[in-house]
Amino acid sequence: MKEQMLLDFELAHNRLLSAAQDAATRGVVLPDGWRAWEIVAHIGAWEVEASHRIPALLAGAGNKDYDTTDFNAKALAQAEGQTFEQLEGALRQAHQRLLSLLDALDARHFNVGGLVHDWVINSMNHNLEHAQALEEAGA
């Protein structure tokens, strides 16, 4: 299960990057006003958060409720002044760090209902939702 989840996560990440690169080149703007820049910036922030939060959860930290609107606003504010290419590079680095962290974990953490399982599934779906939105808007 672990290997398949990590492979699926990588495929979702690659689809997002491809869609974001195409959308950035073509100047695609989503109905909510977001562009590839905003998507790459906030996905990168979520992957950094996962790299910190997953080890904390595995060490016994309690669940954390996220205000996604606030989290995303802070992510975009922190990304201000960076180019799409810089954000894309930061996302690639954050993703590699997250994959390294996940790869080092015992397979049991990837069982259905486990904390790592839920983070990876949610992250993968998040990537796919944004990739699809960018693809459809650019069609």
Rounded mean pLDDT, 72-83: 97
Contact 43, 126 (CB under 8 A): yes
Rounded mean pLDDT, 18-41: 96
Domain extent, residue 44, equals 2-138
Residue 115 pLDDT: 80
Rounded mean pLDDT, 87-95: 98
113 falls in which pLDDT band (50, 70, 90)? confident
99 vs 93: CA distance, rounded Å = 10
**Per-residue pLDDT at 69 exceeds 90:** yes
Rounded mean pLDDT, 61-90: 95
Backbone angles phi, psi at 35, to 5 degrees: -115, 180
Burial (CB count <10 Å: 0-12, 13-18, 19+), residue 22: middle
Task: Look up the pTM and report it.
Answer: 0.93
Contact 130, 19 (CB under 8 A): yes
8-state DSSP, 35? B
Rounded mean pLDDT, 40-53: 97
CATH code at 6?
1.20.120.450
Rounded mean pLDDT, 67-91: 97
Averaged confidence pLDDT in the chain: 95
Q: Count how many domains the chain has.
A: 1
